[in-house]
A and B are shown apart, each in its own frame.
Chain A
């Protein structure tokens, strides 16, 4: 194995990817926007180079330019050479097509969006093979099955005949990887390959990528914003900010002794389990006497088709949130955590059990009185772009709960909106703008202001930061903590990210397949997990420390090879 601390070996072989003075700008209706300024980097054969940076830093633009996959309004200058060949930017379309997929291939962030929904996955793998190689249909099929097996998909022959929607997220990403490997390229560009996946699935995909490099020596450019992923996989790191490279170096140096202030800022913003371990917070076992929320033996079902049994998404769950307490609810996709949040908010009616909000049972009341009780609940959703009405100004959006519940006069509403915007640290001058004119973090502040405008006793926050960059996430989490101290609402904080919950919650609940598997003070749950599933979750969280990450990986590999666990 290569020593990851070494700089790329340029003497013995030419780089797989050499980017020189790459500059990209986009022509738009409002003039030209610079996306990339004079960027240069190289990837050596067999090397894994991580490009990190926040959204808008130009990391995706740089790698798409390498395969000339930018939209037509992009103006590109500089020089890009793949595997010592001609300049990609000078190639004819035919030359370019012969390189795409064969010399360099790509893996995308969202595997369900990157696979064509109407073709069988095996055929999609074959398509790439048959574009470049003169092989028969059956030979290509056989190769596709072989590839699916190599990326750890069980029953590869059967799965090759499946359509994308019939596979899980992890399986789809494995299919994408198989497709990228089909022609044994010298370079794979992986753009946030694990961001859309659950932590345990993510660990499997990362270990697959690692083993591919070790076995086939394929060089990889890994684009990510997750420092834990970088620590676990990369040899070298390029840090980008606003279209420029601010720091380059071996992974240990960049992560452990960063030189540039922006790198340090990025690393500090990463929520970390280590900080939970070090905290001396007193363990909270039971909520205080005055309960904001008291859920007892809750069951929620979704109707399936005619003649099929309903799907029970929440099974017999009891939980309590005290006034002014923040409780974390952790689980992976499909665990039922969002369903639980929605039914507590009164948006899905449970089949049995009781939900008491401030001592009143919500499950039994209907109509106007239920609407009245909804005043006491605020809700923040994952994607502020989807949960804010694009046709409403910020002020209209934030004040809508007051209008619905007929609170205050017009002047009072405006005053309250301004006050609330100040509380969530938004410039009140923004109130006549529309959601698309704000950044992701600002939009989430608007959602928060809207949820809290009526001073509810309970806030349900469903993955409020998972669509945001790390540094923005850190600021939003701090804001939620501050607001909670000021306004004393109880908060059910739903997240798939253990580290985020670890930073925020006093007590944590872990949910799997609709059931609570573990519950307790956050520090105990995360540091000494009792249930095997919680242990698995904690072990799968990537840590932004290459040394610690390697130690954890070795422990995990002793326990059982994750790469072969068919996720």
Chain B
């Protein structure tokens, strides 16, 4: 168990390390020189050289990399070129927004997907299955931005159900915070819910055919215990796998959704940084996203062993 965790942890570290190298090299391979951008209108070579020296860009690449990582480990990701604010401050402001959005998306998508999957499997061949299949098809095939636009028009401006722009921090008001995030989370979670629904339905159908479900029924268990306690419980491992796989897509989808709903998240920060060639910010964002991705994957791996005892012993 511990060994399995340590191996996964090592793999995670390696992933972060490789990601940091790729980002570091990719940014330096891009055309355009940050020093020139910072120098502005006045392209004085002396000024550019000075900026370069200040940013450490005159040093050899490996040294630059090691220096960058050393500072990053101490929470210093450099300073934003465009806003002159420390990157760590920017990340500190935006990361909680995206994390909240992602977690809420996984919760919403997870609940909706598993619920619809269970409904579809339980009432197989009847209208609830038909309904859940149609919803799943819609969730998979309609693009996020289109759903988002519809939501802004109808939920936001026609019905005024939820605010569709801006953000309220959790500290100020929980209700307002969730009010701002719930519509984006539902839209971002629609594809997740659709995939999860299909997988859950297939797994639940397998489970309903399994002998242990028959055995539970033969014990006199109620239908809710049969469906939730046994069939759904056995489908959870696969559901968690899918949540893990979809996480990457979720983080990149968050960038689009944040932009549309005006959420000050890390995705929006990244997009703006790329447009303004704000390299320290881009680099910081990618590193932090990689670390959170690895951390969540690790968490899911631990969750596996809780959900399926057979994995626990398998080592």
Contacts and interface: CB of A to CB of B under 8 A. Distances in A.
Interface stretch (B152-160, B168-176, B206-214, B276-284): B206-214
B219 A100 contact: yes
Contacts of B216: 116, 127
Contacts of B233: 116, 118
Contact of B215 (A99, A114, A118, A131): A114
B214 A101 contact: no
A66 B212 CA distance: 18
A69 B310 contact: no
Contacts of A179: 215, 219
B220 A113 contact: no
A115 B211 CA distance: 8
Contacts of B221: 97, 127, 131
Nearest to A73: B125
A118 B234 contact: yes
A93 B216 CA distance: 15
A115 B215 contact: yes
Contacts of A114: 211-212, 214-215
A116 B222 contact: no
B60 interface: no
B217 interface: yes
Interface string B88-100: 0000000000000
A67 B210 CA distance: 17
B215 A305 contact: no
Nearest to A68: B217
A528 B233 CA distance: 52
Contacts of B220: 97-102, 128, 131-132
Size bracket of the B interface: 20 to 34
B313 A165 contact: yes
Contacts of A176: 215
Interface stretch (A43-51, A103-111, A202-210, A267-275): A103-111
A310 interface: no
A129 to B, nearest CB: 9
Contact of B214 (A99, A108, A117): A108
A166 interface: yes
A97 B211 CA distance: 18
B63 interface: no
A106 B215 contact: yes
B219 A165 contact: no
A71 to B, nearest CB: 9
A26 interface: no
Interface in B46-60: none
A382 to B, nearest CB: 20
Contacts of A305: 315
A127 B212 contact: no
A163 interface: yes
A69 B218 contact: yes
Contacts of A165: 309-310, 313
B230 interface: yes
Given A110-B211, A163-B309, A116 B230 contact: yes
Contacts of B212: 113-117
A127 B309 contact: no
B307 interface: yes
Contacts of A166: 313
B33 interface: no
A356 B218 CA distance: 54
A113 B211 CA distance: 6
A453 B307 CA distance: 48
Contacts of A99: 220
Contacts of A109: 211
Interface in B20-34: none
Nearest to A127: B219
Contacts of A67: 218
Contacts of B217: 69, 100
Contacts of A117: 212, 234, 308-310
A69 B49 CA distance: 82
B219 A116 contact: no
Nearest to A307: B3
Given A93-B223, A101-B219, A116-B234, 5 more contacts: A105-B219, A106-B218, A127-B216, A131-B222, A165-B309
